[in-house]
Chain A
Amino acid sequence: EAGVTQSPTHLIKTRGQQVTLRCSPISGHTSVYWYQQALGLGLQFLLWYDEGEERNRGNFPPRFSGRQFPNYSSELNVNALELEDSALYLCASSPGGLAGRINIQYFGAGTRLSVL
């Protein structure tokens, strides 16, 4: 069974540019989570999608946005890149649903974004 896949693995952008990161969840998982992991700052929650809907977002500016497609894959878009956006962006998936299940999150290998 394929795990969570993310693309691209590495990305270099300059300030002010826009970037799109992609995530394919484990087959059968409907929830996708996005995290930012900057050096020394742990995992900062960005966004949670389930069944195509945005369920929650973390304390990030509106230039961080995303969407989930009917096949449950997801994109994270970051506009007007700033130097401090340089980080590892991790996507995780879980079986999802709002039925009160306690879901384990399965992480992808991440996209390393460098903003110059």
Chain B
Amino acid sequence: GQQVMQIPQYQHVQEGEDFTTYCNSSTTLSNIQWYKQRPGGHPVFLIQLVKSGEVKKQKRLTFQFGEAKKNSSLHITATQTTDVGTYFCAGHSGAGSYQLTFGKGTKLSVIP
């Protein structure tokens, strides 16, 4: 079955440093979504990427979808303490199955 791998599992950064998490799928994806889960909270949708090579920005967050639609990344510029949480990617294969396959997430800690 489809597998979505995410690295790193944990990342500790000083406030102001950049952060990147990477997501790789074992199969070609029709789209990829990113979610953020704050400590003690539930996952909240951030963004969806659909097109090969697509890049989207949300303020300090930059999301990329690979040309082969098998990988994606989330980059945060100049992290802030409000960025703390676990970031999950979730892939949709579109192969007749309409469920998402989530990566295990990257837990980001920001040291003030």
| Interface set of A (CB-CB < 8 Å, partner B) | 31, 33, 35, 41-43, 45, 48, 50, 55-56, 90, 92, 98, 100-110
Instruction: Pick the interface stretch among B12-20, B44-52, B54-62, B74-82.
Output: B44-52
Residues B42 and A90 in contact, CB atoms below 8 Å apart: yes
Given contacts A102-B48, A102-B50, A102-B92, contact A45 B42 (CB under 8 A): no
- For residue B43, CB closer than 8 A to chain A, the reply is yes
Residues of B within 8 A of A92 (CB): 43
Residues of B4-22 at the interface with A, using a CB-CB cut-off of 8 Å, are none
Residues B33 and A45 in contact, CB atoms below 8 Å apart: no
Number of interface residues of B (CB under 8 A): 24
- Other-chain contact of B104, A42, A45, A101, A107 (Cβ < 8 Å): A42
Residues B104 and A41 in contact, CB atoms below 8 Å apart: yes
Residues of A within 8 A of B28 (CB): none
B56 shortest CB reach to chain A, Å: 14
